């Protein structure tokens, strides 16, 4: 069983912020796969279904970003799977806006939601789909940047980026992490 978690912050205030890209991708995955996000367990909104011959749970932790680890750990225990079957989708300041980077393991890279998950699980051995949001302009704090809504230029591109990220997650489940990395780890262009 695969657990695909999109990171974000709960509530209307954060709905269209850069930090909620993970939630947006999980919403798109739900639409593409027919999995309905209609359950609330383990401090998460989730849905379960079958696609690509695999049972998949899609989840959006409802703890704030910096406390995502507890929800993810509880979900893994609840669905009786391990970190090897986990895919985490989240925003990344260190990638140019719109770039997708898939990894089979790694550090938190300064992302506090990922740090929470790594600390809670005690392992970095799980897949992740990082979505570039770019660095803030000079004089803007990174914490403020991630919590701002997408700007006009970004809004024009976000639908395509979210769609491509959802497709990359589907491809990862179907073809495996190495084929997904080979296909999607290219600069956006």
**Helix, strand or coil for residue 3?**
strand
Whose CA is closest to 59, among 22, 20, 31, 14? 22
Residue pair 133/93 in contact (Cβ under 8 Å)? The answer is yes
Structure tokens given for 56:
């998949």
What ranges make up the beta strands (E) of 36-82?
Answer: 39-41, 44-51, 54-61
Is 145 considered catalytic here? no
The catalytically annotated residue of 19, 111, 145, 178 is 19
Of the CA atoms within 13 Å of residue 105, those in its CB half-sphere come to 7
Strand partners, 91: 131
Structure tokens given for 31:
């639409």
Whose CA is closest to 127, among 103, 108, 107, 110? 103
What are the catalytic residues? 19
């Amino acid at each position: 069983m695969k657990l695909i978690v999109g990171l974000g912050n709960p509530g209307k205030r954060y709905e269209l912020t850069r930090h909620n890209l993970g939630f947006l991708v999980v919403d798109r995955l739900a639409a593409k796969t027919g999995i309905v996000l209609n359950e609330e367990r383990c401090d998460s909104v989730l849905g379960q279904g079958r696609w690509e011959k695999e049972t998949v749970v899609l989840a959006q932790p409802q703890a704030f970003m910096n406390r995502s680890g507890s929800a993810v750990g509880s979900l893994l225990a609840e669905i009786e799977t391990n970190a090897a079957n986990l895919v985490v989708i989240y925003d990344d300041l260190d990638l140019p806006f719109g770039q997708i980077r898939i990894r089979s393991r790694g550090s938190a890279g300064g992302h506090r939601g990922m740090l929470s998950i790594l600390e809670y699980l005690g392992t970095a051995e799980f897949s992740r789909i990082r979505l570039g949001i770019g660095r803030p302009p000079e004089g803007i704090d990174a914490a403020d940047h991630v919590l701002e809504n997408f700007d006009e230029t970004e809004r024009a591109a976000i639908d395509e980026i979210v769609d491509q990220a959802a497709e990359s997650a589907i491809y990862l489940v179907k073809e495996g992490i190495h084929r997904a990395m080979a296909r999607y780890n290219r600069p956006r262009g």
